Structure 1
Amino acid sequence: MPGPWWQSLRARFEPAPIADRLWRRALAGCPLARRLDPERQLQLRRLSALFLARKRFHALAGAVLDDYWRLLIAMQACLPALQQGGASLRGWHEVLIYPGEFKVRRSHHDDRTGVVTEGDEVRIGEAWERGPLVLSLADVQLDLEQPWDGYNVVVHEMAHKLDMLDGPPDGVPPLVDIPRRRWIQQFQQAYDRLVATPPDRCNSPIDHYATESAAEYFAVVSELHYSQPVLLREAEPAVAELLEAYYGRSPAEGREPVGFCRAR
């Protein structure tokens, strides 16, 4: 009889299928997945099973997780990886879940003065290179309740994870059928346009937080691809086209765009 080591190895490549009852319940609770066509729903179900087999979930600071919530998180995490396949889940193993916002300690080096200062930042999500995916459960739940408002913390952090597959995040994930030069050129031009627009005069659906870096820009517009593709296409048609080529058709296509009002 195969031992625990063999059973663990096999589970990584042949994960146990998700029970029908649990899948139907989670599908009903995840509007983004519910709007996929049947073939992509089947792909998502298989990829989510792989995600659950490969990633270890840790509930921190009193957060409560059950199989339903683990699956809901896995489904949203696998949506951006759906077109890239199981290989895009490589390089990390843990998902850390806080009940709500969490604090992280950050150091800042002032290039002009050389002074290093430290302080706490409040976050709802983080993705560490070759480290865990960190999420606020309250914000995951809010995104499920308001799926079309332009925000999705799981999609945002998974965009970072995809970006980091080939090194530190730079806004350019590994590309197969998309010319890398075209991606860099179009994203850089769009990023520069947003940076040049003062926040108080910006009427773009792209949250001004995207100006933090090219990596944040990619993650923010990835959220829009999944929740407000029409508004993204109106604001930056070239970026929207590239994201559709990379991620596939948005599950929000066909919906009337709604106002974007939630602050980051």
Structure 2
Amino acid sequence: MPGHWWQTLRAHLEPVPVADPLWRRALVACPLARRLDPERQQRLRKLAALFLARKQFHALAGAVLDDYWRLLIAMQACLPALHQGTASLRGWREVLVYPGEFKVRRSHHDGHAGGATEGGEAPDGEATERGPLVLSLADVQLDLEQPWDGYNVVVHEMAHKLDMLDGPPDGVPPLVDIPRRRWIEQFQLACARLANASRDCPDNPIDRYAAESASEYFAVVSELHYSQPSLLRQAEPAIAALLEAFYGRSPAEGCEPPGFCRSR
């Protein structure tokens, strides 16, 4: 008779499928998943079940999580991983969920003064190498209600997770069938264009926050790929093409309203 270790390993490799009523309910609430073709929906369902089996969810600061909300988070987290496969979920184990924005304390080293100071900020998501995926439940809910507005916190943080699969974040995730040099060159050029653009330019859908680093640029344009691909294509056609090759065709094609992007 198989021991406990074998049962645990089997559950890890062959997770319990998502029940039909729960899947149908979550599919109604998640437009990004609902617009996938049936074949990709089935792959997403299996990958989400694997995500739920491998990741430990923790509700913090009064957040309330049930199977429905865990599945909605898993579905959105697995969308960027759908084209990459199960291996793209490796390297971390926990999902921390706060009810809203959460306080993060960061240390900043001052090389000239030889010391470190700490500052606080209140993000709506965070991802660190081998650390947890941290999310604001309020922002997850808003993204489900406004799926075509240029913003998706789960996609943003999962892009960081994909970026960190091969080391510290640098805006270059592990690539298959995409020339690494081409990726780096096009992203460097696009990030420089954004950094040098006039701050009062209203026509660029890419949030200026993306210019902070190559890693943030990749995460921000990943959000646009899943929520406003046509605007991304107008602003940066080479980046849009690379992301389509990396993630697959966006489920938002033909849905997003023209010219609208929720600001951070």
Give the corresponding residue for 1:117.
117
Q: What is the number of equivalent residue pairs in this alignment? A: 264
**CA drift at 1:212:** 1.0
**CA drift at 1:43:** 0.4
**Is the 8 Å Cα contact of residues 106 and 120 (structure 1) preserved in structure 2?**
yes
Q: 1:1-264 residue pairs with structure 2 within 5 A?
A: 1-111=1-111, 113-114=113-114, 116-201=116-201, 203-264=203-264
Q: Distance in 2 between matches of 1:256 and 1:211?
A: 24
- 1:17-75 Cα offsets, whole Å, 9 max, x none, are 11001000000010000000000000000000110010000000110000000000000
Q: Distance in 2 between matches of 1:157 and 1:136?
A: 11
Distance 1:261 1:231, change over 3 A: closer
TM-score (norm 2): 0.97
**Is the 8 Å Cα contact of residues 149 and 259 (structure 1) preserved in structure 2?**
no
**CA drift at 1:148:** 0.2
Q: Secondary structure at the match of 1:116?
A: strand
Range moving further from structure 2, 115-124 or 56-65:
115-124
Q: Distance in 2 between matches of 1:199 and 1:9?
A: 53
**CA drift at 1:110:** 3.8
- 1:102-131 Cα offsets, whole Å, 9 max, x none, are 011012234455553211111100001011
**CA drift at 1:198:** 3.6
- 1:83-111 Cα offsets, whole Å, 9 max, x none, are 00001000000000000000110122344
Distance 1:239 1:261, change over 3 A: closer
Q: Secondary structure at the match of 1:171?
A: coil
Q: 1:42 is matched by which residue type in structure 2?
A: Q
**CA drift at 1:256:** 4.7
Distance 1:42 1:187, change over 3 A: same
State the identity as a percent.
Answer: 80
List gaps (5 residues or longer) in structure 2: none
Distance 1:256 1:126, change over 3 A: closer
TM-score (norm 1): 0.97
Q: 1:107 is matched by which residue type in structure 2?
A: S
Q: CA RMSD in A?
A: 1.3
**Is the 8 Å Cα contact of residues 163 and 169 (structure 1) preserved in structure 2?**
yes
Q: Distance in 1 between matches of 2:90 and 2:203?
A: 38
- 1:123-142 Cα offsets, whole Å, 9 max, x none, are 10000101110000000000
**Is the 8 Å Cα contact of residues 232 and 240 (structure 1) preserved in structure 2?**
yes
Q: 2:49 is matched by which residue type in structure 1?
A: A
